[in-house]
């Protein structure tokens, strides 16, 4: 038994052969002082209490108060380490999931932006082909045609569309000389359609 245990009333130290009690109000009393109380009130502070004899049958939560501080600190360290290891593992798992979701979100945003740009380019091409006034759909977006002011021709359009699909458009040899949207001889196209300025 720890050497600091003493009766809080008469201050005798704990020693073998002398019974000691701990009260529910938190006081320690020796056998002699306890016998002088009525058993329902603390002999030290006179508050209602129960007396519990100090022996190995104490409940674990009561035994904790009589263990050495070094033992308690060691147990505390074990508890702390155990909890921190579990917290760290959980935090790492959540962080990994967050990074995966973030990466996927960034990929989707990039794909969305690319789709918007392509949509704007295709709309611009379509408007020019149909003779409508061109209005940029997306500020700063690059145009399928390299020059900021370039004559729209059938070849330009078809090459632009084909290049987006990964294959250059090539006219069959027997049609190259006959098909020219810029030609004055093209009967079904207006002058505006024959020479459309692409503005970016
Ligand atoms: Zn005493
Ligand atoms: Zn008391």
**CA-to-CA distance for 164 and 183, rounded, in angstroms?**
26
Q: Do 77 and 62 belong together in one domain?
A: no
* Cα angle 118, 170, 132; round to 5: 45
Mean pLDDT by 10 residues, the chain (200 residues): 92 94 97 94 96 94 93 96 98 98 98 97 94 57 46 50 50 47 46 44
User: Ligand 1 centre from 25 Cα, in Å?
Assistant: 16
- Same-domain check for residues 103 and 193: yes
- Domain edge (last residue) among 21, 45, 67: 67
Residues 63 and 92 in one domain: no
Closest CA to 43 of 54, 57, 30: 30
Q: Which ligand is nearest to the CA of 21?
A: 1
Specify whether 94 is located in the same domain as 48: no
Ligand nearest to the CA of 29: 1
- d(CA 48, ligand 2 centre) in Å: 8
Q: Identify each DSSP E strand in the chain by its residue range.
A: 20-23, 28-30, 51-53, 149-152, 196-199
pLDDT of 83 reads 98
pLDDT the model gives residue 2: 84
State the total domains in the chain: 2
Ligand 1 (ion): residues with CB under 5 Å are 7, 9-10, 30, 33
Q: Give the DSSP letter of residue 134.
A: P
Q: What's the distance, CA 11 to chain centroid?
A: 59
Q: Are residues 105 and 157 in the same domain?
A: yes
What range does the domain containing 80 cover? 68-200
Residue 152: name the closest of 117, 120, 180 by CA. 180
Residue 139: per-residue pLDDT: 52
The answer on 80 and 4 residing in a single domain is: no
| Nearby residues of 151 by Cβ (< 8 Å), 6 or more positions away | 182, 195, 196, 197, 198
Q: What is the CATH number of the domain that holds 7?
A: 3.30.40.10
Please indicate, yes or no, whether residues 145 and 169 belong to a single structural domain of this protein: yes
Cα separation, 78 vs 124, in Å, equals 69
Domain boundary among 67, 89, 111: 67
What is the C-alpha R_g of the chain?
Answer: 46
Ligand 2 centroid distance, CA of 9 (Å): 10
Q: Does 8 share its domain with 48?
A: yes
Could you tell me if 95 and 182 lie in one domain?
yes
One domain for residues 127 and 82: yes
Q: Is the pTM of this model over 0.85?
A: no
The DSSP 8-state label assigned to residue 141 in this structure reads P
Last residue of some domain: 67, 99, 120? Answer: 67
Distance (Å) from CA 24 to ligand 2 centroid: 8
Q: Are residues 153 and 167 in the same domain?
A: yes
């Amino acid at each position: 038994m720890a050497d600091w245990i003493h009766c809080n009333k008469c201050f005798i130290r704990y020693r073998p052969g002398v019974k000691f009690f701990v009260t529910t109000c938190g006081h320690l009393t020796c056998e002699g002082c306890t016998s002088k109380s009525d058993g329902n009130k603390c002999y030290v502070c006179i508050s209602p209490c129960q007396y519990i004899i100090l022996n190995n049958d104490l409940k674990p939560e009561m035994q904790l108060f009589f263990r050495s501080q070094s033992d308690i600190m060691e147990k505390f360290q074990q508890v702390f380490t155990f909890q921190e290891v579990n917290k760290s593992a959980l935090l790492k798992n959540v962080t990994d999931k967050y990074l995966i979701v973030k990466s996927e979100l960034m990929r989707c945003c990039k794909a969305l932006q690319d789709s918007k740009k392509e949509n704007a380019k295709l709309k611009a091409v379509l408007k020019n082909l149909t003779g409508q006034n061109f209005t940029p759909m997306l500020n700063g977006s690059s145009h399928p045609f390299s020059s900021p002011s370039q004559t729209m021709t059938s070849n330009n359009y078809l090459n632009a569309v084909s290049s987006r699909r990964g294959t250059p458009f090539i006219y069959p040899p027997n049609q190259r000389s006959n098909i020219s949207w810029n030609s004055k001889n093209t009967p079904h196209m207006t002058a505006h359609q024959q020479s459309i300025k692409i503005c970016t």
